[in-house]
Structure 1
Amino acid sequence: MNIEVRHATDPGSVETATTAQLRSRYLIEDLFAPGEVRAVYTHEDRMVVAGAVPDGAPLALPAWDALGTEHPLERRELGVINLGDAGEVVVDGTAHKLGTLDGLYAGRGSTITLSGAGACFYLVSAPADATHPTVTFGRDTIEPVRIGDPATASARSLYRYVWGGGHPSCRLQFGVTVVDAGSVWNTMPAHLHDRRTEVYLYTGLPADARVVHLLGRPGATRHLIVRDRQAVIAPAWSVHSGAGTAPYAFVWAMSGENTDYGDLQGVPMEAL
């Protein structure tokens, strides 16, 4: 099965890229189509991001050629977030129900089937060298971390699903952040992850709303205009921050050589 492959990029290329080049390298625009599983394989920490929209029939993960394995999770772990109406993820024959913005982690070697009329599943995968058990995360049962401030238009709720301080994983971390009504910034001040790649998937945006997403090295940033259910790849050297024109949420997912959620480098405002 085909999968779009994107190669790793260097920091300097961002500063001279055209808008079209930036979008083709970092923006993932069309992950979700009824009855399909669409995916992008990035050489940045070898992450896979995918969208699965069951349309009257269950969907299984394809054996993507780029992975070089007969089974899509033969050497990988998986995170799933449901962006749509209630759906079901079957892991090794056991069904798990996911509501809107609920999550699931499945360990290396798992067999996955996704179903549900109106469900829309976002999937993130990373290489794994150990197997950890399946677990589900209900957004309504996770106590969020409150961060930001209304005074700086950055108040938001951080829901940590797999993050290094809870359920174990090999390299993968993921969760959901919901921006408060009246706030616009999803991450500000900005920061870097020198040892991890991060992908943002925006969700909950009205059709006429957009997020202005910043990327690149501090002091030399560029921007992308992002619609609902589009994702942005942030290499380890790039900031990843955005401001929306309407209320929204985003799924964050990381992979790299460690799972210490707090292992980041803050970028002071004067460095931008």
Structure 2
Amino acid sequence: MFQKTYYAAHPDMMDGASNDELRDRHVVSGMFRVGEIVLSYSHGERFIIGGAVPATSPLLLPRLSEPESLAGQPLLARRELSAVNIGAAAGAVTVDGTRFEIAPRETMYVPMGSADVAFEGEGARFYLLSVPAHRPFPLRKLALGDARVMERGSLETSNARRIHQLILPHTCESASLCLGLTTLEPGSVWNTMPPHVHERRSEVYLYFDLAEDDRIFHYMGRPDALRHIVMENEEAVISPPWSVHMGSGTRAYSFIWAMAGENLDYEDMNVFDVCQLC
């Protein structure tokens, strides 16, 4: 049921890795195919990462197909899920018979134990993230207006941005999933400044709002041994807990950040000055 499995990475695996090997180990692409739900599995925090692009018919979240003893059980039997509409048109998410209209950039938080989850809306594009959960929390629809907004950076340093904190304890309770959406102001290209790591949780970035000929240079690795990956629109990158994560684009863009691990505290990070990187 998964198009690809991504395995946990040790820092030593960065040494000598080619650019193609870095992409193969960390970049999730090809998620948004019209008329399909495409899912990949990461051993980092057991993330499921994917996309749902309904056409003229609803798409139903698949049930487990393996192991054989669990085949047929709901995918969310022991998981929670977020679905963010990154498309240009509104869509809908139906959870166990309850339907929610989801406008562009709105998010659904779907709790553990939800059995039937369907996506619809021609022109909607749902970015899906799921992690294990220990108990269900309330089903929530979240607009950007519901988020706590942090304004960071400046145009002088090319990193003026608005950070919308969506799935965090002060806005929406969850078992371990944290999620937000960051938009860069026109003229700004740098994200996640100052750079940082958080050893107790992994993070996944989805970059979007990029034109066909735009690119993101995503930086990762130990602070004293940075590497970069060149990324296109609607590609995600998996950042291990030991890795710095930051990026720069050819123009302003948006990205969805999602974390999971043992701590829901947004400030749980070790910050580095840019001069410490090499």
Q: Secondary structure at the match of 1:32?
A: coil
Partner of 2:37: 37
Question: How many pairs were matched up?
Answer: 272
Residue deviations 1:190-249 (CA, integer Å, cap 9, x gap) = 011110000000110011101100011101011111111000000101111101112210
Partner of 1:47: 47
Partner of 2:62: 62
Q: Counterparts of 2:210 and 2:94 in 1: how far apart (Å)?
A: 28
Partner of 1:212: 217
Q: Secondary structure at the match of 1:21?
A: helix
Residue deviations 1:15-45 (CA, integer Å, cap 9, x gap) = 3201110000001111110111111110011
Q: 2:216–2:249: 8 Å Cα contact kept in structure 1?
A: yes
Instruction: Report the AA paired with residue 191 of structure 2.
Output: N
Q: Counterparts of 1:191 and 1:269 in 2: how far apart (Å)?
A: 10
Residue deviations 1:112-167 (CA, integer Å, cap 9, x gap) = 10000100000101100110011111124535211112221111001111123222
Residue deviations 1:77-116 (CA, integer Å, cap 9, x gap) = 0011001011000111111111111111010011210000
Partner of 1:240: 245
2:60 is aligned with 1:91: no
Q: 2:148–2:166: 8 Å Cα contact kept in structure 1?
A: no
CA-based RMSD of the aligned residues comes to 1.3
Partner of 1:74: 77
Gaps of 5+ in 2: none
Q: Secondary structure at the match of 2:13?
A: helix
2:16 is aligned with 1:11: no
Residues 1-272 of structure 1 aligned to structure 2 (within 5 Å)? 1-65=1-65, 68=70, 70-84=73-87, 85-110=89-114, 111-272=116-277
Runs (4+) of structure 1 exceeding 6 A deviation are none
Q: Counterparts of 1:223 and 1:209 in 2: how far apart (Å)?
A: 16
Identical aligned pairs, as a percentage?
39
Q: 1:177–1:249: 8 Å Cα contact kept in structure 2?
A: yes
Q: Counterparts of 1:141 and 1:161 in 2: how far apart (Å)?
A: 7
Q: Counterparts of 1:222 and 1:204 in 2: how far apart (Å)?
A: 24
How high is the TM-score relative to the length of structure 1? 0.96
User: Against the structure 1 CA distance between its residues 169 and 141, is the aligned structure 2 distance closer, same or farther, given a 3 Å change threshold?
Assistant: closer
Gaps of 5+ in 1: none
Q: 1:41–1:66: 8 Å Cα contact kept in structure 2?
A: no
How high is the TM-score relative to the length of structure 2? 0.94
Q: Secondary structure at the match of 2:33?
A: coil
Greater CA drift, 145-154 or 114-123: 145-154
Q: Counterparts of 1:64 and 1:227 in 2: how far apart (Å)?
A: 30
